[in-house]
């Protein structure tokens, strides 16, 4: 996990740094003239189209990575007119041209034989898409989410889930909502094999989009994390802080869904707490890093979510974690989530249960986390 996160971080920082070079790699004299005009004619629109065409071609054809970054910067710097009166004309033509040429460039880049060059070109095209914030470009980015390269797949998902794109898709227009549905369905299909970085992006999109498919996506993410706890394959525990906070936000924003979402919130948080209790109660099976991440999840969710849900701040879990107090954690787990004789405070507050038992009565307690596999003990 550490290596994977480092590789993402180094690549992202490198790409961002070279992206900010001020020296344009394409001839921008004509487009700068058009940007300063108050009204555009057909010739001006053609200049915009030619500029985008030339710049995107250079992104595909050059082998100088620094030059690629300069070209990308040049495109981004000229996506808008400098005159309000011409902005609508300018933006429409720029958008239409960008969609046409970038879509074609992604297809052309995918056919390059040099794998290293192919990856660099596709990544730069996707980072360009990500910064253009143009809903038309969601389509070509969405097509790249199936790419076998993890970093390309990450940036493709980033393109269709970044906050600016999400805002455009949540305006209520039929076409936008249809696109949002397709994005949610695509992300849903990626989740089982998704790395934590992509899961975080998918969760953010799910939390910020109002369509039912987005809520289903967030619940699917929670279910996957719950299953990973149940079979002791969960990794990067910090991710659960994000997932639990997004579930909490959805509970507060969509009260009609609070029982459905509340159950997932409780199951995920319960399993995180049970796993931590089993570890500190011995024999230890979590690494020091895992134990630290797990403790951080428990304490942060108590601070930012539990107190608000129950109507009063509390520090019970924080103190118990600091003191390695297993009994205090067990008692608090029963109070929050319930036991065999009574429903917990969260279930009472949010109106959910844990399904039915063999006798068809409502379960008042979450499932007990299974014991870890023998190969986990003592690691």
- Could you tell me how far CA 268 lies from the centroid of its own chain? 18
**Does any domain span residue 265?**
no
Domain hosting 85: range is: 1-146
What the block records as the tokens of 54 is: 């030339």
SS3 262: helix
What the block records as the tokens of 218 is: 């967030």
- Could you tell me how far CA 309 lies from the centroid of its own chain? 24
Task: Give the model's pLDDT for residue 19.
Answer: 43
Torsion of CA 254, 265, 294, 272, to 10 degrees: 180
**Does any domain span residue 233?**
no
**Does any domain span residue 100?**
yes
Q: CA 340, CA 334: separation in Å to the nearest integer?
A: 9
Q: CA 285, CA 77: separation in Å to the nearest integer?
A: 52
Q: What is the pTM of this model?
A: 0.86
If one counts the domains in the chain, the total is 1
Q: CA 249, CA 240: separation in Å to the nearest integer?
A: 14
Task: Give the model's pLDDT for residue 377.
Answer: 53
DSSP at 377: T
Task: Give the model's pLDDT for residue 111.
Answer: 93
**Does any domain span residue 5?**
yes
257 within 8 A of 215, measured Cβ to Cβ: yes
pLDDT tens over the chain, length 379 residues: 333 443 454 445 444 434 444 444 578 999 999 999 999 999 999 999 999 999 999 999 887 777 788 899 999 999 999 999 999 999 999 999 999 999 999 999 999 999 998 999 999 999 999 999 999 999 999 999 999 999 999 999 999 999 999 888 876 677 788 999 999 999 999 999 999 999 999 999 998 888 899 999 999 999 999 999 999 999 999 999 999 999 999 998 888 889 999 999 999 999 999 999 999 987 788 999 999 999 999 999 999 999 999 998 899 999 999 999 999 999 999 999 999 899 999 999 999 999 988 888 889 999 999 988 876 654 5
SS3 79: coil
Q: CA 19, CA 179: separation in Å to the nearest integer?
A: 29
State the helix-helix crossing angle for 174-190 and 212-230, rounded to 10 degrees: 10
What the block records as the tokens of 320 is: 């118990």
CA distances from 133 to 24, 205, 277, 298 (A): 21, 15, 45, 36
Task: Give the model's pLDDT for residue 376.
Answer: 60
Task: Give the model's pLDDT for residue 375.
Answer: 66
**Does any domain span residue 224?**
no
Is 211 buried (19+), middle (13-18) or exposed (0-12) by CB count in 10 A? middle
Task: Give the model's pLDDT for residue 8.
Answer: 53
**Does any domain span residue 192?**
no
**Does any domain span residue 350?**
no
Find, among 161, 277, 289, the residue nearest to 236 by Cα: 289
Find, among 232, 238, 239, 227, the residue nearest to 379 by Cα: 232
Helix residue ranges, H only, 62-137: 65-77, 87-110, 115-132
Q: CA 73, CA 22: separation in Å to the nearest integer?
A: 7
* Element of type H or E holding 225: helix 212-230
């Amino acid at each position: 996990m550490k290596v994977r996160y480092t590789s993402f971080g180094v690549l992202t920082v490198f790409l961002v740094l070279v992206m900010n070079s001020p020296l344009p790699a394409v001839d921008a004299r004509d487009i700068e003239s058009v940007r300063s005009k108050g009204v555009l004619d057909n010739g001006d629109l053609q200049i915009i189209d030619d500029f985008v065409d030339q710049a995107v071609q250079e992104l595909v054809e050059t082998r100088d990575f620094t030059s690629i970054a300069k070209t990308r910067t040049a495109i981004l710097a000229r996506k808008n007119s400098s005159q309000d009166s011409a902005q609508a004309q300018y933006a429409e033509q720029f958008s239409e041209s960008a969609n046409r040429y970038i879509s074609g460039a992604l297809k052309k880049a995918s056919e390059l034989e040099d794998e290293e060059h192919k990856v660099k070109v596709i990544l730069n095209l996707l980072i360009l898409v990500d910064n253009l914030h143009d809903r038309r470009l969601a389509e070509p980015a969405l097509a790249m989410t199936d790419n076998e390269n993890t970093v390309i797949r990450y940036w493709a998902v980033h393109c269709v889930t970044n906050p600016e794109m999400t805002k455009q898709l949540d305006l209520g227009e039929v076409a936008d909502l249809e696109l949002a549905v397709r994005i949610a369905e695509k992300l849903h299909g990626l989740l089982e094999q998704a790395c934590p970085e992509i899961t975080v992006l998918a969760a953010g999109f799910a939390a910020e989009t109002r369509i039912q498919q987005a809520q289903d996506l967030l619940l699917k993410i929670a279910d996957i994390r719950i299953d990973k706890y149940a079979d002791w394959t969960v990794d990067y525990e910090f991710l659960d802080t994000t997932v639990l906070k997004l579930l909490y936000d959805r509970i507060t924003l969509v009260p009609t869904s609070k029982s459905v979402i509340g159950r997932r919130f409780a199951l995920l948080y319960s399993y995180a707490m049970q796993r931590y209790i089993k570890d500190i109660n011995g024999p230890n099976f979590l690494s020091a890093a895992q134990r630290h991440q797990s403790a951080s999840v428990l304490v942060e969710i108590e601070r930012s979510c539990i107190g608000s849900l129950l109507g009063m701040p509390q520090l019970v879990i924080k103190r118990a974690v600091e003191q390695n107090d297993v009994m205090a954690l067990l008692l608090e787990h029963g109070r929050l989530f319930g036991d065999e004789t009574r429903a917990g405070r969260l279930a009472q507050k949010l109106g959910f249960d844990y399904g039915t038992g063999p006798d068809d009565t409502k379960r008042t307690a979450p499932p007990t986390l299974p014991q870890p596999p023998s190969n986990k003990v003592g690691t």
